[in-house]
Amino acid sequence: MKIKLQLVAVTTLLFAQFAQDAAAQTRVRYGAGFTRTAANQAGSQRNVRSAINAGLGNTNSALDGSRTNTRIDRGALEVYGRYNESGKNVGSALGDWRRRRGNIGRNGRNETQIQHENRTRADFMMLIIRRNASGNNGEATPDTGYSCIRGNRERQPTFPHELGHNLSALHSHANNMARSSRNQLPRNMATLVGSAGRGYRDVANRYSNPNVRYRGATTGRLGNRENALRINRARVSRSRIR
Ligand SMILES: [Zn+2]
């Protein structure tokens, strides 16, 4: 009788663990628009879509490797051929994108931004503008899920950096491990959210987590800006933006 009770207890425990793991991963949906100039500079609309796929691959690899229990799913990627981006930088284009109508105009499927966003049910919506735009490489509005990057940054750390902001990650010295001591990332390296303007050569494809190592080095410090922890905590609310 006693043995049987123990078996039941073990089975219950295993099932509870399985249920917890299954419920743990959160999927956040992503959609994007890009300008006609961004497509022309990339060679084709197809090339922009391929670059976005690569960026999402890098982002999911970082989210997995950093143990965030979060995954980004791709929704529709559309060209906004009527958007006049002359005189716009990343910040002002992001403002147009967030307002959803007016300056942005309709996309290649004759949808407004809000119709595109609703159809694809995107929690995060990114706009990609011409690669020679002035201003920052990318910007994001963390709480509302919008971002804008320059073309040619899709395969760079800019892409997972901005989606990291959308998932609540913050800049901090704890993320920029250049100031850290031994057993942490080398002095010339940063994690993704300490990465502004850097290429992958100088960036660990990770969100900071003191329990995760990258090439033998710790990627974060205990403290209030552990980005993998922040993402883990914010992921459910961010998956419910739309
Ligand atoms: Zn940033």
High-pLDDT (> 70) share of the chain, %: 83
Q: For residue 44, give the nearest of 9, 79, 82, 92 by alpha carbon.
A: 79
CA of 177 to the centre of ligand 1 (A): 15
Q: Where do the domains of the chain lie?
A: 28-238
DSSP strand pairing (217-218 vs 213-214): antiparallel
pTM of the full structure? 0.87
Tokens in use for 135?
């201003």
Cα(161) to centroid of ligand 1, in Å?
Answer: 6
Distance 146 CA to ligand 1 centre (A): 13
Task: Provide the CA 40 distance to its chain's centre, in angstroms.
Answer: 25
| Cα 179 to averaged position of ligand 1 atoms, centre (Å) | 18
User: Looking at residue 184, what DSSP letter applies?
Assistant: B
Mean pLDDT of 10-23: 48
User: Which residues 6+ apart lie within 8 Å of 211 measured at CB?
Assistant: 67
Read off the pLDDT of residues 196-225 as tens digits, 9 standing for 90 and up.
778 888 888 999 998 998 888 888 888 757
pLDDT of res. 205: 92
Considering the segment(s) 28-238 as one domain, its CATH architecture is: 3-Layer(aba) Sandwich (3.40)
30-54 confidence digits (pLDDT tens)? 999 999 999 999 999 999 999 999 9
Residue 134's Cβ-count burial label (10 Å; 0-12, 13-18, 19+) is exposed
The whole-angstrom separation of Cα 217 and Cα 228 is 16
For residue 197, report the distance from its CA to the centre of ligand 1, in Å: 9
Task: Return d(Cα 45, Cα 76) in angstroms, integer.
Answer: 13
CA distances from 9 to 16, 31, 98 (A): 11, 45, 52
